[in-house]
Homo-oligomer: A and B are copies of this chain.
Amino acid sequence: MNTRLPVTILGATGIVGQRLVARLARHPWFEVAHLAASARSEGQAFGQACQWRVPDCEPFAGLGHQKLLACDPAVSFAPLVFSALDTQPAKEIEPLFAAAGALVCSNASAARMDGDVPLLVPEINPGDLDLLPEQRQARGTRGAIVCNPNCTTAGLALALAPLAALGLEQVFMVSMQAASGAGYPGVAALDLMGNVIPYIAGEEEKVEAETKKILASRAASPVVSAHCNRVGVVDGHSASVSVRLRQPVSHAELGALLGNFRGLPQELELPSAPRQPIFVHTAGDRPQPRLDIGREQGMCVHVGRVRECALLGTKFQILSHNLERGAAGAAVLNAELLRATGWL
């Protein structure tokens, strides 16, 4: 890995695209070759077309003068492509890049539930990359698509993964999701300030289905029920979770099981891997988004208040960074795994 691999970012001007730019502008393994955006912005400088919203960061991560290209492999191809496209354009554009030979690390929901597409969380199901040859054959592409989960699913699945070994049968989850999960401009200030919005289109279905697909690799097939709420938080999705485990375990043991969990990214020391994927809080009123969300560059999931649930046996609170572990950071970690395991 002496030379840095050129990469393309599709949808670079959006809120997830900006986070990808910030993460990749100084990445040890990857080099931003192309920034691509919708036809409306094509040809403009990145610094002109983009309302930069990454806090306390050099504007445009120093790439403000780079020219925005079309999302078209004919003009913006690279062997590794990050997609922060919306569902509809993703459905159309990502396969073109895969056909042209690129590995596409996609944050879009378009292909996540396709049977031949890995819905990858490197700590949980790295083995799902074995789907790639099948995908290539089925689709007749030289490249392939690898997805990361929805921003809410990402943290939930990671917190649940170690519990699969204890016989995870039922999962109840109520989320309190941050504004940045809705993109930019996303939710109106008038709707969200001092408020709770008890509906996020399509979110509950995604969480229920994606969580099951990811955990299937760990031989768990829990029934999952999700309620999703939007609250007045900038970054960081909180959730109150109850679980039923076949094998009883003390809360201390459960905390240790979560806190000691490690996966392949930690073993391989991938650049974006958190040292500790699941941070278990001992303070009785944590995790809290405003105080905890920046830990490990937003790449760990936080668990706190492990305690008894009168209905399902065990309950706890989780928190994870929707733009990092739940979007940009997840896609980059996926790409790092692809590179470190020889797919790139």
Which residue of B185, B187, B240, B290 is within 8 Å of A229 (Cβ)?
B240
What residue in chain B is nearest A240 (Cβ atoms)? B227
Q: Are A193 and B194 in contact (CB under 8 A)?
A: yes
Report the interface size for chain A: residues with CB under 8 A from the other chain. Answer: 59
Q: Are A188 and B190 in contact (CB under 8 A)?
A: no
Which residue of B180, B196, B208, B317 is within 8 Å of A198 (Cβ)?
B317
Minimum distance in angstroms from A177 CB to a CB of chain B = 10
Q: Which of A132-140, A149-157, A302-310 contacts B (4 or more CB under 8 A)?
A: A302-310
Minimum distance in angstroms from A53 CB to a CB of chain B = 7
A174-B174, A317-B227 known; A290-B189 Cβ under 8 A: no
Which residue of B188, B198, B305 is within 8 Å of A188 (Cβ)?
B188
Q: Are A291 and B55 in contact (CB under 8 A)?
A: yes
- C-beta contact mask, A273-306 vs B, less than 8 Å → 1, else 0? 0000000000011111111111100000000110
Q: Are B288 and A198 in contact (CB under 8 A)?
A: yes
CA–CA, A295 and B232, complex, Å: 22
Q: Is A197 an interface residue (CB 8 A)?
A: yes
CA–CA, A191 and B286, complex, Å: 11
Q: Are A231 and B234 in contact (CB under 8 A)?
A: no
- Residues of chain B within 8 A of A176, CB atoms compared: 176, 196, 229, 231
Minimum distance in angstroms from A254 CB to a CB of chain B = 16
Copies in the complex: 4
A186-B189, A189-B187, A190-B180 known; A289-B227 Cβ under 8 A: no
Q: Are B291 and A53 in contact (CB under 8 A)?
A: yes
Q: Is A199 an interface residue (CB 8 A)?
A: yes
Q: Are B285 and A197 in contact (CB under 8 A)?
A: yes
- Residues of chain B within 8 A of A225, CB atoms compared: 242, 309-312, 315
A55-B290, A310-B223, A311-B225 known; A193-B189 Cβ under 8 A: yes
- Residues of chain B within 8 A of A242, CB atoms compared: 172, 225, 227
Q: Is A343 an interface residue (CB 8 A)?
A: no
- C-beta contact mask, A208-239 vs B, less than 8 Å → 1, else 0? 10000000000000011101010111100010
CA–CA, A197 and B229, complex, Å: 15
- Residues of chain B within 8 A of A223, CB atoms compared: 310-311
User: A interface vs B, CB < 8 Å?
Assistant: 15, 53, 55-56, 170, 172, 174, 176, 179-180, 184-199, 208, 223-225, 227, 229, 231-234, 238, 240, 242, 284-295, 304-305, 309-312, 315, 317
User: Which 3 residue pairs of A and B lie closest in terms of their CB atoms, listed nearest first?
Assistant: A56-B294, A185-B188, A174-B174
User: Could you show 5 A-B contacts with beta carbons less than 8 Å apart?
Assistant: A176-B229, A176-B231, A189-B189, A225-B315, A227-B240
Contacts A194-B232, A198-B288 aside, 9 further interface pairs with beta carbons under 8 A come to A170-B311, A185-B190, A185-B191, A188-B189, A190-B234, A194-B234, A195-B291, A196-B289, A197-B288
